[in-house]
Amino acid sequence: MQRVNADIVNKVVNLASRNAGFISKRFAGVLAAELADPALYKTFTDAAESIGEAWDSREFGKAIREIMALADVANRYVDEQAPWVVAKQEVRDADLQAICTMA
């Protein structure tokens, strides 16, 4: 159980924290008006039903595995988009906002 909690914190909370920091500091907490990758967003929204069903059926392991797999997808997206690099280029503020909104 401690390993699962640590994985959740490392993958999900860290991901949210890093990107929310950019949104808060650089964009006054305002998300981008449009999604940078609607297909990626759909991947996450489509998974909500199966995660909810697993949870409701008390298949907690299955629900957690699906959540962790999505966290891996989100982390890959952030690694590929490299918002920490984009943030250093003021002319790319819109890109930074879009990347962090997706994340």
CATH architecture of the domain 2-102 equals Orthogonal Bundle (1.10)
What's the Cα-to-Cα distance from 67 to each of 32, 58, 76, 84, rounded to whole Å? 24, 15, 14, 25
pLDDT of residue 90: 86
Return the closest-CA partner of residue 86 out of 26, 13, 15, 10: 26
The amino acid present at 90, given as its one-letter code, is E
Query: Counting every residue, how long is the chain?
Result: 103
Could you read off the pLDDT of 35-93 as tens digits, one per residue?
Answer: 999 999 999 999 999 999 999 999 999 999 999 999 999 999 999 999 999 999 989 99
| Contact between 84 and 92 (Cβ < 8 Å) | no
Domain edges within the chain: 2-102
Q: Which residue has the higher pLDDT, 28 or 10?
A: 28
Give the residue-averaged pLDDT of 5-17: 80
Q: How confident is the model at residue 1 (pLDDT cuts 50, 70, 90)?
A: low
- Distance, in Å, from the CA atom of 23 to the CA atom of 29, rounded to the nearest integer, reads 5
pLDDT of residue 66: 94
